[in-house]
Amino acid sequence: MSARRNKKKGNVSSYRMGIGLFLLFIFASIFLYVGMPELGTETYDNGLSKAATVALAPTRAATHVPTPAHVKTIYMTSCVASSQTLRSNLVKLIDETEVNSVVIDIKSFDGRLSFVPADEKLQSAAGGCLVRDMQDFIDELHSHHIYVIGREASFQDQLMVKLRPDLAVKKESATTTVWKDYKGISWIDASSREHWEYLVAIAKAAHDIGFDEINFDYIRFPADGNMKDIWYPLSGKRSKSAIIRSFFEYLHDHLAPQGITTSADLFGMTTTNIDDLNIGQILEYALPNFDFVAPMVYPSHYPNGFYGLGDPNEHVYDVVKISLDKAVMRALAPVTVEEIPGARIGTSTPAIYAKPSWTAAKIRPWLQDNNYPVPYTADMVKAQIKAAADAGVMSWGLWNAGNRYTRAALETERID
């Protein structure tokens, strides 16, 4: 009986040992295949999401390239930039066409930074589609003579709203409830000086790793959503355009002395409207404060009947030409009807204000290269580029949120 029991125990022990060796073999195989964690990484948990691993910020000096005479750029999401395979396809497109620049997200609407800044106070915001080798990638782009622009979504910032709900736009009917637009996106009140400081810190950190220019997007008040139930806890009833003008001036005062080139994305109709479109954007307030002003003259975003044209998607050349003619005219003009403090001249009604005159080179529009709400063909993209050139505007950017661009619309020779 004892012999049988001992034999049974021996079988169980052998079985357990076999299972243990098998599991050890599996773990060893995974270890050899996946490899050790990279040196110089840390795990963090900001309390808002699952812990993520981010690379430590590089410490070497950044490289920069000069701004091309005519910037011709495409947009690249941080998710595409984080994949060497996906981003290489766009680098190839730039190498083989007239495009000489790329715009890469450094902060998207979710508030996440796509790179790890050296500033420790900013590092907890890194995440999402993180480009772990951002500085190496920028150096690679520079080696291809590609100008690199960092796009910073400004007052759309989901992360900051969670961290600082006191700075967020609220519902008027429930002033402790965060307001959201029709896309479910929450906003920071544009009057928040703390957020202004934060945006400037991000811009400087991005420039420090090699971004040649910082492009500010969503530099406005919300435009859609239930606008009848919206409350700005910091702005109150103050003029939206005066608040946004102050923000533009703040960016200029804190970045221009550092030698940081900047650009501002504006609604397309800021070129044809003399009001602030209820979002605070006025062309004449942006022009003196940024190196480039980028009106988003996407035909799909214009109303039917714009300047008597009917469906704007059937008149893409005319929409862009009219918009940019107006932009250039307003840039060149030495006077404006827009209120510029301390610059009033004459006694006319409306009042006329003196302003500096800028050339068409100040204008760099975003053009449409996506299939909304109709498929945009190569001819439609070419027509927009031609309209810009006919208005005297030689710089432009192509926008496609999916990063799929119409190669047939682009010239094959790049002139640097």
Give the whole-angstrom CA distance, residue 93 versus residue 71.
15
| Per-residue tens of pLDDT for the chain, all 416 residues | 444 444 444 454 544 555 454 444 444 443 333 333 332 232 223 333 333 444 556 668 999 999 999 999 999 999 999 999 999 999 999 999 999 999 999 999 999 999 999 999 999 999 999 999 999 999 999 999 999 999 999 999 999 999 999 999 999 999 999 999 999 999 999 999 999 999 999 999 999 999 999 999 999 999 999 999 999 999 999 999 999 999 999 999 999 999 999 999 999 999 999 999 999 999 999 999 999 999 999 999 999 999 999 999 999 999 999 999 999 999 999 999 999 988 989 878 889 999 999 999 999 999 999 999 999 999 999 999 999 999 999 999 999 999 999 999 999 977 65
Q: Which amino acid is at 123?
A: Q
Rg (CA), the chain: 26
Residue 218 placed within a domain: yes
Total domain count for the chain?
1
Contact criterion met (CB below 8 Å) for 182 and 242: no
Q: Which of 128, 179, 126 is nearest to 156 (CA)?
A: 179
Residue 103 Cα to chain centre, angstroms: 8
Q: Which of 175, 154, 282 is nearest to 232 (CA)?
A: 175
What are the two backbone dihedrals, phi and then psi, of residue 187, each rounded to the nearest 5 degrees? -130, 150
Local structure of residue 267 (DSSP, 8 states): E
Domain with 345 in it: 63-409
Q: How many residues are listed for the chain in this entry?
A: 416
Local structure of residue 200 (DSSP, 8 states): H
Residue 337 placed within a domain: yes
Residue 42 placed within a domain: no
Contact criterion met (CB below 8 Å) for 103 and 96: no
What are the tokens at 97?
Answer: 């066409």
Q: Which of 136, 131, 149, 53 is nearest to 86 (CA)?
A: 131
Residue 210 placed within a domain: yes
Local structure of residue 308 (DSSP, 8 states): G
Residue 15 placed within a domain: no
**Nearby residues of 314 by Cβ (< 8 Å), 6 or more positions away:** none
Residue 391 placed within a domain: yes
Give the whole-angstrom CA distance, residue 75 versus residue 149.
9
What are the tokens at 192?
Answer: 């928040």
Domain of residue 327, CATH code: 3.20.20.80
Contact criterion met (CB below 8 Å) for 138 and 211: yes
Residue 349 placed within a domain: yes
Residue 212 placed within a domain: yes
Local structure of residue 92 (DSSP, 8 states): H
Give the whole-angstrom CA distance, residue 217 versus residue 253.
18
Residue with tokens 């009033």: 344
